[in-house]
Structures are given as C-alpha cells and as structure tokens.
Amino acid sequence: MILINGEFKDHLPVTDRAFQYGDGLFETLAVVDGHPVFWDRHWDRLQSGCRRLNIPLPDAELIYFEAKSLCERQATAVLKIIITRGSGGRGYRQPDCITPTRVISLHPVPDYPDNYREQGIVARFCNTRLGINPSLAGIKHLNRLEQVLARAEWNDGSIQEGIMLDSSDQVIEGTMTNLFYIKNDTLHTSSIAQAGIAGIMRGIIINLSPRLGLPAIEHTFAKMELLSADEIFVCNSIIGIWPVIRIAEQAFPVGSKTLMIQRELDSFTNEALQR
C-alpha cells in the first residue's frame, strides 16, 4: 500500500532526483496496534535531515495524516516514509523551485524468529567500508550502496547481521542496525560524526542510560576493542534489540545487562504507545 504525494499510486517520474542521485531521505517505523511508534522522534530526524540536505520540509500534519491513514489499515506493520528533492533536470544542481516528493508505504513485518531477541544472533565483519563524510554522517539519506554491497557479502542464513567499519578501520554500525557494547558497566556505541546513521533506537538507549544505571559513551573504536566487550547488541526500530552471541570466531553471552536494556526499552516503548 503506497501513497505518493497523497494518492494511491506505485509509480514515480523517472526525473525524480531520488532515482537520479539518491537525493532524499527515509524513515522506517514500527506500526503497533495501528500506531506508528516513536513518531515524534522519527519526524524530528526527518526534519533535521531535510534541513541538512536543504530539502523543503513537508507539512508535518499532512505527513502524519497520510501515515496514520495507512497505519489504520494494518495493526502490525512497517511504515516507510521517503522524502525526495522532487523532480529536476539533468545535472547535480538542484532546481530553483523544489517540490519534494513524499512516498509513504506500509510493509509486512519481517518474520524474524523470536529467538533472535532472546537467544541472540550471529554477526560478521563486512569488507565493504563506510566512507567518512561529516556532511552526510548521521543522516538517513537514500545513498545506500555501501549497505547494499555489505549486505550482499553473505548469503548464509545463520548470519543475521554484518558489522561495518569506516575507511579508517573504526567500527561504526550494522548494515541495518546500530551497535552497542557493554564493558566494565559502561555502554559504548560508535560516534556517528564521521559515518553512520543516527538511529532512533540508538538515541533512545543513550537517553535511557541514566535510568539503566549504565553510563553511555559515544566514541570511535576498532574491531579489537569491540571483541574485548562483555556483551554486544544491535538495535533498530523494527527489531528492537538483538543480543550478538558471535562475531567471526568469537562468542559472547546473551548478557544480563543487554536483557535488562531490552526490558527497559520494551517498557519505554509501551509507555510511548499509551501516550
């Protein structure tokens, strides 16, 4: 089910700059009981992405109305919102007058087994690197070839996520998740100042850290530092938190702190849904 600029359609002009240059942004939200979860946070990120790419911000109420009208059709789903710079001529220069395109679509929830949440998943290190670029770091933009190439590196169903390093060998994130590790009662996650996406779950977990009794630090770290962790987990808006029980040849426990953060995140999500 797809709404393009408010109409049920499934085709777009080939002149759209998302098609030509990946010139746009997206958001992926969980839909629970017909509600888009953490709408305000996703909207804030979209807004900040539009500002950074200088794409005129679509009307908040309009987007919310359209998103809600889709979510009401399916109690449990994934909602995807794409905002592009709209159509333009050939050439990188943007049109003087930008009319953004909005694409709002509803998708089935991926059928990940429950045990990923409970018993954890296996990850690998990807060879494909994330380019370092402060102008684009943090933004959930549509230039995603790095993730596409990284995700194409394995076809082994026993591996659920690939961990990506940047071009300076710093660990950044999973292909579709952000990454945390716990060591000596501290929560660590990669800085996203140079590469990576400012994930909504990542932000929530950092915000929750005082309540978790675990100070959170964002910094750069290498593979070996990650592999010396007590516990590791990945997160995103659709999966919540998955403990990581193996990376390459190294095993990790489904740690008690990870399970505690998972529970806190669940309560926080339920509270948000009830507001």
Which residues make up the interface to a copy of itself (CB under 8 A)?
2, 4, 9-23, 26, 28, 53-54, 78, 80, 82, 85, 89-94, 103, 105, 107, 110, 127-136, 141-152, 167, 175-176, 194-195
Cβ–Cβ under 8 Å, residues 6 and 99: no
Q: Of 46, 34, 33, 71, nearest to 200 (Cα)?
A: 46
Give the nearest distance from C-beta 44 to a copy of itself in angstroms. Answer: 21
> Smallest Cα–Cα separation from 86: which of 66, 101, 102?
101
Smallest distance, a copy of itself to C-beta of residue 148, A: 5
Shortest Cβ distance from residue 192 to a copy of itself (Å)?
A: 14
Supply φ then ψ for residue 46, to 5 degrees.
-60, -45
Q: Which is nearer to a copy of itself, 90 or 275 (CB)?
A: 90
Q: Which is nearer to a copy of itself, 91 or 213 (CB)?
A: 91
Q: Which residue in the list 66, 161, 173, 231 is annotated as catalytic? A: 173
Q: CB 168 → a copy of itself: shortest distance, Å?
A: 8
Mapped onto helix, strand or coil, the DSSP state of residue 244 is strand
Toward a copy of itself, which CB reaches closer, 66 or 231? 66
What tokens does 157 get? 């169903």
28 given a catalytic annotation: yes
> What span, in angstroms and rounded, lies between the C-alpha atoms of 18 and 230?
41
Q: Quick one: 149 or 208, whose CB is closer to a copy of itself?
A: 149
257 among known catalytic residues: no
Whether 140 is catalytic: yes
Q: Which two tokens stand for residue 266?
A: 């669940």
Q: Which of 84, 140, 189, 269 is catalytic?
A: 140
**Residue closer to a copy of itself, measured from CB, 18 or 187:** 18
**Are residues 212 and 88 in contact, defined by beta-carbon separation less than 8 angstroms?**
no
Give 27-30 contacts, CB < 8 A, sequence gap 24+.
Answer: 27/79, 27/80, 27/81, 27/140, 28/78, 28/79, 28/80, 28/236, 28/237, 28/238, 29/67, 29/78, 29/79, 29/80, 29/81, 29/237, 30/78, 30/79, 30/109, 30/237, 30/238
Q: In angstroms, give the least distance from the CB of 132 to a copy of itself.
A: 4
Report the alpha-carbon distance of residue 255 to residue 233 in Å, rounded: 9
Catalytic site positions: 28, 140, 173
